[in-house]
A and B are shown apart, each in its own frame.
Chain A
Amino acid sequence: MTTLAIGLLSASLLWEQISAEVDAGLEAAFKAAVARVAPAVVQIQTVGGLETLPTGAARGGPLLRGLGPTTGLIVAADGYIVSSSFNFVHLPAGITVHVPNGQTYPARLVARDRTRMLTLLKIEAHRLPVPAVTPKEEIHVGMWVAALGRTLSVSPQGPPSVSIGIVSATRRIWGKAVQTDAKVSPINYGGPLIDVYGRVVGILVPMSPRGDQETAGVEWYDSGIGFAVPLEDILRVLPKLKEGRNLGRGLLGIRWQAGHPLTAPPIVGDVLPGSAADRAGLRSGDRIVEIDGVPIERQAQAQLVLGPKYEGESVRLKIRRGEQTLELGPVALGADAPILRSAYLGILPMRDDATAGVEVRYVFADSPAAKAGLRPGDRIVTCNKLPVTDRNSLRSALDNLLPGTEIVLGVKRQGTEDKIEDIKLTTALAPLDDRVPDQLPVGTRKQAQAAGRSPAVPAALEKPRQPADKPVPAKQPQAKPQQPAKEVRKGAWEHHDPLSGHRFWVYVPENYDPNITYALVVWLHPPGDPMKDVILQVWRDLCQEHHLILLGPEADAPSGWVTSEADLIKSDIQYMLSQYAIDRFRVVTHGLGRGGDMALYLAFDAPELIAGAAAVGGTLDHLPAREPTRRPPRFYLVAGQRDPRLEGIRSLRPRLLERNVPVHWTEIAELGSGYIPQADGIRHLVRWIDSLDRL
């Protein structure tokens, strides 16, 4: 009876509520929710540090740092505070934390979670308020959330700034973040994303699926695309962070077989020696069917399972190899893999060569090849007893070997009185080096057909080794992705896409010959000035002489290149590959100043597409993610000693070498922030490009 009475009473109360406006109720509810969390939302002040943020090449000049305070969230009563690593990327001299109770403390930076862009701070305080957490299983797409920040708070005791939106998705950035359309920006990075009850869903951070710098994803601020790392996940690793351990990504150490990453099947392309995958016994060609019991159909699904994992965490794999299905692991995931130098023989292969085997075009002095007595004109026909059909087969053979490995080469040599000798040569492979020959023999077999000829060719090498009537190969695998049916455009031409407004210009030598593989030089201009005429004037003859094609994309904004444009450039390159006979191993980005930054960025961003980057006065504040890669991009760096950015440019070299990346370094005394002054300097660069396909 009484219950009924209560029921009726509460019913009438409820009726009141129901007839109240939804939005009024929502307003009230969120104010209560904010009030509940606010005591745990701290304001962070920093002193000193860089006035601009290192943003990687891509944002067309560095980001100016805000002068305002930033935000953090108390996660432990004894003074642990989690914030976004973005807030400390400027390397401040001092950090202080204002707790809403009015106290101010100096803070110590305890540890970083590099996978989730988080930083843990410690202040010497006790009995701090700790917010409630929203369990992950209760985070639903469409639920109300609010993003709180302290940047705009006049006083740390005042109300935090609030932006209200909904949860847009729950498994983003490879399963590491919740996505919201509440406005997320430097105003609230490091702050909490809360639900309507005043529980914390996660910590707001800039994030992007394409890059792991602290600043990646900042370009999307306030766009309705915001991310928060679920607090439940953070609490799981909090003990480790408290110990002062920086947490990094766990890598399996494979590269997928080419294909659209979101749709392609999970077939292993190659396995990095020494990686977790290697230790687990994974092989190229294996198809992954399960990871940790989760069925895998696509590469992206595998990434979704692996993405959240930390270095040291272990995984189980179920794979299909041919007919059989195998269980592999558990194996502990490795740390960020250093880029390996592929094993190096020390020759340049002759290109556009129809005959089976690889003709040696050039032998690098005191390289393994030289030590073995290999000579120009020799034709390598077997490698470790396996037949070598063309330079690609030799390359893939070497790719699966590490420096130091002994190999046996079968070689045919033009002996005296024109008889062919078969010889066996043995040598130990060395790590790739980046020396540039002083002069190079012509690089293509098709020279006979090609108009013009390099004067740099020593007479001895001019005599064609094959009869001129040798059948022309219909297609060089990889060299010509799609032989265009129609007559290709030659000379200088421009493309302007009327819809996107995107432009690029192209120069194809008038003597272009589809039977010769060309190198592609992608010119990335400095902010504001495409420099088309200058570059054309300097490069035109070289292009004809040395079989180069120029591609000159133009930046959207006068302020210079931005991240999203990397994709436009890549598709421009794809387009060129589909139209012309271009050697994939000699696609080079080349830029001046901030264009140079972009050139370097692209080489890291798309190593499978770009063989090298030649930057004049270019640098990268942050080197992009270390994707495990087999064929590291090469770098050709030119620094002007009068360049105001000289220090930054110089700082790049050691960082690249530390990553085991081949770097060719030149400093020019009288050069400021301009382009390579002397012609021989450019000829040197051309030889570097010409020798990029070294084996």
Chain B
Amino acid sequence: MRRQLAGWVGAVCLAWVSLAADVPPVVLQAQAHRQALIARVSPTVVAIFAASGEGGGSGVLISDDGYALTNFHVVYSPSSPFLYCGLPDGHVYEAVVVGTDPVGDVALIRLVPRHPGQKFPYAPMGDSDTVQIGDWCLAMGNPFLLASDFAPTVTYGIVSGTHRYQYPAGTLLEYPDCMQIDASINPGNSGGPLFNLRGEIIGINGRGSFDKRGRVNSGVGYAISINQIRNFLGHLRAGWLCDHATLGAVVDTDDSGRLLVSRVLETSDAFRRGLDLDSELLAFAGRPVQSVNQFKNALGIYPRGWRVPISFRRRNPDTGELERKDVLVRLMGAHATGQLTDILQRKQPRQPGQPPAPMPQVPATALPAFSDTLKRMYEARDGFANYYFNRLEREQLLTRFRRHSDARSLSGPWQLSGTFASGTRIQATLEVDTESAALTLADRRYRIEPLREGEASENLREPKGSGGILLLAYHWRRLLVLGEKGFEAAFHHGGWEPFYPKGIATRHMTEVLLSEHAGVSCKWYFDTTDGKLVGAECFPERDEDPCEVVFEDYRQVYGQQLPHRMIVRFGDKEYGVFTWNQWQITAKP
């Protein structure tokens, strides 16, 4: 029999010479190119099994320390944040949920190395906005949990549509700005990567349009664009239960196809920036918008709290003239605080196209025992998927921040003297200590004691038009001197957000800290590379404009890097610029 087989193979080899001649090298080249590419990226594809022993899906590694992306609906379980994962190396890994985005159906998980120092293979992220309809793509994952050896199923197809909008179920699992593909994806592919032909992740496969045949591929699958996920990655890494954003306004198209504001929340930043009923929305976050879907697509890819530029045309209330406005707005959360958590406790997402559950076992034994190493990587907290990772990110940020400048030793009263320029230039002195903050402008002196009983709230906004520079300075000193100890109510890593030191044109990404002390919350922006504090916002009142400060011109003082210029803004206006030529910090009495 063996001889016979040999015979076959022999025959093949003979046949081959003639065979090969028919196949143009370019074809083999393209084929070999694809095979090589698959061989390169498939080790990064994760097979995910819910701890409940029920269901499972796919994911993809995006860092060598084991962070992997998947769908929220794959990993969500009200009972346990822990998971089992299989990699194509054939091994099983423990994993924990890091951060979740129920609205965007995205989750970040972290795999635990089997041995210390183990580096994971991972795939680079591409740019989903450059994807064109008709481009080839590769979907990888574990449909119908077929991969008993954890080698992913690879399917090949083209992009059928881009910037698609797929409606949410309730308020969850919304697919804005997603990609539509004809590469076959089926139950179990959920959470798996969509690759371009450069081997970059361009999306996460999450759902499909199913029809008469029930839950099998019908030629239409959808992938969450990687650019959307990138916007949330900071929040996800910081363990948040992420919420998506709303502009605080509802828009409808009129007969002439214009996008008009039909409702607007007066508490919204957009309203404060002048967006009103019947304003015509022209562009959102740099994207022209002409239809409701385009608007939903443009909006749906941002986390709550982000600041993005919008353009609209409105009739000026005073002059009655039509005017175009290009402004930055802070996006509100799509859900009220705590609402997401409630929804999740009410229902357990299982979406059409969830993979079939593998053979169930006796529940008593189905829940696997996870290692203590893993269990230590979880900390429950309201509003978070896993607070352990917020702590982790926060400590790393603070370390970078203090490597740049550690002011904890400068615990005496501060006195900064220099000039204040707002049109004219005048003398200015800022004094801050643990109880109070005072500012002298020429001969006028303002002073507040934030902690004093009955400190009038309008004082906290002093001086007029600054929005509360004194209060901000007070919190600023607390941050530098006391750090986390200075903020009893909240001190969280806030993910990544764009920061605009000099207006719309000067956007760059920063890392954010959120603090709350004595009922006042602040937002601190740090340079992602050197951890320098580049700006801050202070909110004396919720749903009102904060006082904004940009810190610049850092110089060596008392052996530390401290800013010598502070640009202060409030609402639509710039209040003025402080230039400090002297920092005086008396040693602690």
> Known: A224-B155, A500-B352. Contact between A197 and B362, CB under 8 A?
no
Tell whether, in the assembled complex, residue B362 and residue A142 are in contact, meaning their CB atoms are under 8 Å apart: no
Docked CA distance A181–B157 (Å): 9
Asked if B164 is at the interface (CB within 8 A of a chain A CB), the reply is: no
Tell whether, in the assembled complex, residue B170 and residue A297 are in contact, meaning their CB atoms are under 8 Å apart: no
Tell whether, in the assembled complex, residue A196 and residue B91 are in contact, meaning their CB atoms are under 8 Å apart: no
Docked CA distance A44–B57 (Å): 39
Asked if B268 is at the interface (CB within 8 A of a chain A CB), the reply is: no
Asked if B277 is at the interface (CB within 8 A of a chain A CB), the reply is: no
Tell whether, in the assembled complex, residue A497 and residue B25 are in contact, meaning their CB atoms are under 8 Å apart: no
Docked CA distance A571–B39 (Å): 36
Asked if A584 is at the interface (CB within 8 A of a chain B CB), the reply is: yes
> Known: A236-B5, A297-B92. Contact between A142 and B27, CB under 8 A?
no
Q: Specify which chain A residues have a CB less than 8 angstroms from the CB of B156 in the assembled complex.
A: 142, 165-166, 181
CB distance from A262 to the nearest CB of B (A): 6
Asked if B64 is at the interface (CB within 8 A of a chain A CB), the reply is: no
B24 CB contact (under 8 Å) in A20, A264, A570: A20
Tell whether, in the assembled complex, residue A500 and residue B186 are in contact, meaning their CB atoms are under 8 Å apart: no
Q: Specify which chain B residues have a CB less than 8 angstroms from the CB of A287 in the assembled complex.
A: none
A300 CB contact (under 8 Å) in B54, B149, B364: B149
Asked if A199 is at the interface (CB within 8 A of a chain B CB), the reply is: yes
Tell whether, in the assembled complex, residue A144 and residue B31 are in contact, meaning their CB atoms are under 8 Å apart: yes
Q: Report which residue of B23, B348, B349, B356 has the largest number of chain A beta carbons within 10 angstroms of its beta carbon.
A: B23
Docked CA distance A118–B28 (Å): 32
A301 CB contact (under 8 Å) in B42, B149, B154: B149
Q: Specify which chain B residues have a CB less than 8 angstroms from the CB of A478 in the assembled complex.
A: 362, 364
Docked CA distance A83–B21 (Å): 30
Stretch from A24-32, A359-367, A635-643, A660-668 that touches the partner = A24-32
Asked if A564 is at the interface (CB within 8 A of a chain B CB), the reply is: yes
Q: Specify which chain B residues have a CB less than 8 angstroms from the CB of A303 in the assembled complex.
A: 148
Docked CA distance A14–B93 (Å): 48
Q: 1/0 per residue B145-160: CB within 8 Å of A?
A: 1111101111111000
Docked CA distance A566–B156 (Å): 30
A142 CB contact (under 8 Å) in B29, B34, B157, B364: B34
CB distance from A74 to the nearest CB of B (A): 14
Q: Nearest B residue to A577 by beta-carbon distance?
A: B363
Asked if A423 is at the interface (CB within 8 A of a chain B CB), the reply is: no
Asked if A372 is at the interface (CB within 8 A of a chain B CB), the reply is: no
Tell whether, in the assembled complex, residue A225 and residue B153 are in contact, meaning their CB atoms are under 8 Å apart: yes
Docked CA distance A132–B20 (Å): 13
Q: Specify which chain B residues have a CB less than 8 angstroms from the CB of A297 in the assembled complex.
A: 90-92
CB distance from B52 to the nearest CB of A (A): 8
Q: Specify which chain A residues have a CB less than 8 angstroms from the CB of B143 in the assembled complex.
A: 225
Complex interface residues of chain B between 105 and 164 (CB less than 8 A to chain A):
143-149, 151-157
Tell whether, in the assembled complex, residue A174 and residue B148 are in contact, meaning their CB atoms are under 8 Å apart: yes
CB distance from A268 to the nearest CB of B (A): 15
Interface size on A, residues (CB 8 A): 89
Tell whether, in the assembled complex, residue A135 and residue B184 are in contact, meaning their CB atoms are under 8 Å apart: no
Complex interface residues of chain A between 467 and 502 (CB less than 8 A to chain B):
478, 481-482, 497-502
> Known: A141-B154, A181-B156, A482-B363. Contact between A235 and B5, CB under 8 A?
yes
> Known: A564-B214, A573-B360. Contact between A197 and B154, CB under 8 A?
no
> Known: A259-B361, A260-B361, A498-B169. Contact between A209 and B20, CB under 8 A?
no
Q: Specify which chain A residues have a CB less than 8 angstroms from the CB of B28 in the assembled complex.
A: 196
Tell whether, in the assembled complex, residue B216 and residue A220 are in contact, meaning their CB atoms are under 8 Å apart: yes
Q: Specify which chain B residues have a CB less than 8 angstroms from the CB of A222 in the assembled complex.
A: 216
Asked if B479 is at the interface (CB within 8 A of a chain A CB), the reply is: no
Q: Nearest A residue to B1 by beta-carbon distance?
A: A239
Asked if B288 is at the interface (CB within 8 A of a chain A CB), the reply is: no
Docked CA distance A131–B53 (Å): 45
Asked if A17 is at the interface (CB within 8 A of a chain B CB), the reply is: yes
CB distance from A64 to the nearest CB of B (A): 14
B8 CB contact (under 8 Å) in A235, A499, A567: A235
Q: Nearest B residue to A179 by beta-carbon distance?
A: B153
Tell whether, in the assembled complex, residue B153 and residue A499 are in contact, meaning their CB atoms are under 8 Å apart: no
CB distance from A461 to the nearest CB of B (A): 32
Docked CA distance A566–B347 (Å): 21
Asked if B357 is at the interface (CB within 8 A of a chain A CB), the reply is: yes
Docked CA distance A144–B90 (Å): 25
Tell whether, in the assembled complex, residue A304 and residue B169 are in contact, meaning their CB atoms are under 8 Å apart: no
> Known: A166-B156, A224-B217, A497-B348. Contact between A14 and B86, CB under 8 A?
no
Tell whether, in the assembled complex, residue A142 and residue B352 are in contact, meaning their CB atoms are under 8 Å apart: no
Docked CA distance A692–B55 (Å): 30
Complex interface residues of chain A between 561 and 616 (CB less than 8 A to chain B):
562, 564, 566-568, 570-571, 573-574, 577-578, 584, 606, 608-609
CB distance from A218 to the nearest CB of B (A): 11
Docked CA distance A416–B463 (Å): 99
CB distance from A257 to the nearest CB of B (A): 8
Docked CA distance A81–B25 (Å): 34
> Known: A170-B151, A172-B146, A262-B145. Contact between A196 and B27, CB under 8 A?
yes
Q: 1/0 per residue B209-224: CB within 8 Å of A?
A: 0000111110000000
Q: Specify which chain B residues have a CB less than 8 angstroms from the CB of A570 in the assembled complex.
A: 357, 359-360
Q: Nearest B residue to A36 by beta-carbon distance?
A: B19
Tell whether, in the assembled complex, residue B15 and residue A142 are in contact, meaning their CB atoms are under 8 Å apart: no
Asked if B509 is at the interface (CB within 8 A of a chain A CB), the reply is: no
Chain B interface residue bracket vs A: 35 or more
CB distance from B489 to the nearest CB of A (A): 31
A498 CB contact (under 8 Å) in B170, B213, B217: B170
> Known: A171-B151, A297-B91, A571-B54. Contact between A219 and B350, CB under 8 A?
no
Tell whether, in the assembled complex, residue B146 and residue A262 are in contact, meaning their CB atoms are under 8 Å apart: no
Q: 1/0 per residue A130-160: CB within 8 Å of B?
A: 0011110000111110000000000000000
CB distance from A117 to the nearest CB of B (A): 16
A263 CB contact (under 8 Å) in B92, B147, B357: B92
Q: Nearest B residue to A133 by beta-carbon distance?
A: B8
Q: Nearest A residue to B94 by beta-carbon distance?
A: A263
Q: Specify which chain B residues have a CB less than 8 angstroms from the CB of A166 in the assembled complex.
A: 34, 154-156
Asked if A459 is at the interface (CB within 8 A of a chain B CB), the reply is: no
Asked if B518 is at the interface (CB within 8 A of a chain A CB), the reply is: no
Q: Specify which chain A residues have a CB less than 8 angstroms from the CB of B352 in the assembled complex.
A: 499-501
> Known: A298-B92, A500-B352. Contact between A260 and B5, CB under 8 A?
no
Tell whether, in the assembled complex, residue B86 and residue A262 are in contact, meaning their CB atoms are under 8 Å apart: yes
Asked if A311 is at the interface (CB within 8 A of a chain B CB), the reply is: no
Tell whether, in the assembled complex, residue A197 and residue B23 are in contact, meaning their CB atoms are under 8 Å apart: yes
> Known: A197-B23, A263-B86, A574-B366. Contact between A225 and B146, CB under 8 A?
yes
Asked if B505 is at the interface (CB within 8 A of a chain A CB), the reply is: no
Tell whether, in the assembled complex, residue A171 and residue B149 are in contact, meaning their CB atoms are under 8 Å apart: yes
Docked CA distance A25–B23 (Å): 7
CB distance from A165 to the nearest CB of B (A): 7
Q: Specify which chain A residues have a CB less than 8 angstroms from the CB of B24 in the assembled complex.
A: 17, 20, 25, 28-29
Asked if B368 is at the interface (CB within 8 A of a chain A CB), the reply is: yes
Q: Specify which chain B residues have a CB less than 8 angstroms from the CB of A499 in the assembled complex.
A: 73, 169, 172-173, 347, 349-352
> Known: A262-B145, A497-B347, A500-B351. Contact between A197 and B360, CB under 8 A?
no
Asked if A557 is at the interface (CB within 8 A of a chain B CB), the reply is: yes
Q: Specify which chain B residues have a CB less than 8 angstroms from the CB of A562 in the assembled complex.
A: 214
- A17-B25, A239-B1, A574-B363 known; 16 new pairs, CB 8 Å cut-off, are A14-B25, A18-B29, A22-B29, A132-B19, A169-B153, A170-B151, A209-B144, A257-B365, A262-B86, A262-B145, A304-B148, A304-B149, A499-B73, A570-B360, A571-B54, A577-B362
19 A-B pairs with C-beta separation under 8 A: A132-B19, A141-B154, A144-B27, A166-B154, A166-B155, A179-B146, A181-B184, A219-B214, A225-B146, A262-B358, A263-B86, A481-B362, A498-B170, A500-B354, A564-B215, A571-B55, A571-B357, A571-B360, A574-B53
Give the interface of A toward B (CB within 8 A).
14, 17-18, 20-22, 25-26, 28-29, 32-33, 36, 132-135, 140-144, 165-174, 179, 181, 196-199, 209, 219-220, 222-225, 232, 235-236, 239, 257-264, 297-298, 300-301, 303-304, 478, 481-482, 497-502, 556-557, 562, 564, 566-568, 570-571, 573-574, 577-578, 584, 606, 608-609
- For the complex of A and B, list the 4 residue pairs with the smallest distance between their C-beta atoms, beginning with the closest: A224-B184, A25-B24, A567-B356, A223-B216
